[in-house]
Amino acid sequence: MSKIAVLFPGQGAQAVGMGKDLVEAHPEAQTWFDRASEALGFDLAKVCFEGPAEELTRSDRAQPAIFVHSVVAYELLKAQTGFIPGAAAGLSSGEWAALYAAGVVSFEDAIRILRVRGEAMQAACEEVKSSMVSLIGLDDEKIAEICAETGVEVANYNSPGQTVISGSAEACEKVPALAKAKGARMAIPLPVAGAFHSSFMAPAEKIFADFLSEIEFKAPAFPVYSNVTGVAHPDVAAIQRDMPRQITCSVRWVENVQAMAADGVVKAVECGPGKVLTGLLKRIDKSIASSNVTDLASLEASVDFLK
């Protein structure tokens, strides 16, 4: 059976001005920012619309901000089309938007979750100097050699030939030259706070797991694909078990897309800032048609795409 999936981006997709034109054109969308601001204790809309970029980049700001922008994009698309997804997935923190879309967690709980997740990860980043590097054009065998030689870890399997590694700041400084020597087309140090999806985030995982034990989870209305396992969460118990682990485990995005395609997904709409996931989708499986909603123009284009 053919399905349409909804996809949600993760940290790194944030940009000053995100969501502003959607709210200006659809004032009812301001409600989502107001509800989030009340839960967070600061003006999230101001941070999203005006920045500064340094504040929006912090994990404890970026994660709730991307989530709310993603929800606004998703809810406006639903309101204009009656769109009901057949599947959902999100990259890293975006998986929480996918769980919200599937009815697993409420909006307010998701905001609380992402605040705690972001704060815990930011604290872990500040504890030890660490970083990330995006590697383009290397196969998994060469990536494994780099990990063995430097002590870095695979953070994200984004697409065939694009892998992100995490490690100490010292180890990450050695990676670009080593990767180039092994044939990488590009090795790009990322402007991030620390080594996400690695053992450096272990303190954050513990804090987050304790917090999630207090949250009520409901069965998903449609399949949500797990970054940790690469396939759909089988039940609520698996969600409760794997979402804390997601902070330290590699993001298996290639497997997520492959599993969705195998399960009948033929179209996908990315909701949230940027269009990184639609770009990755084209490199993983060209048979899945895609669109994105990040601003007013792309919302209108995605309405036509779903028609």
Q: Which residues are catalytic?
A: 92, 197
From CA 277, how far away is CA 253, in angstroms rounded?
9
Chain position carrying tokens 């709980």: 109
Nearest-5° angle of CA 194, CA 145, CA 248? Answer: 35
Adjacency order of strands within the sheet including 3-8:
224-225, 87-90, 3-8, 265-271, 289-293
From CA 285, how far away is CA 149, in angstroms rounded?
32
Q: Is the CB of residue 302 less than 8 Å from the CB of residue 292? A: yes
Chain position carrying tokens 């999806």: 197
- CA distance readout (Å), 138 to 132, 176, 252: 16, 12, 16
From CA 171, how far away is CA 112, in angstroms rounded?
34
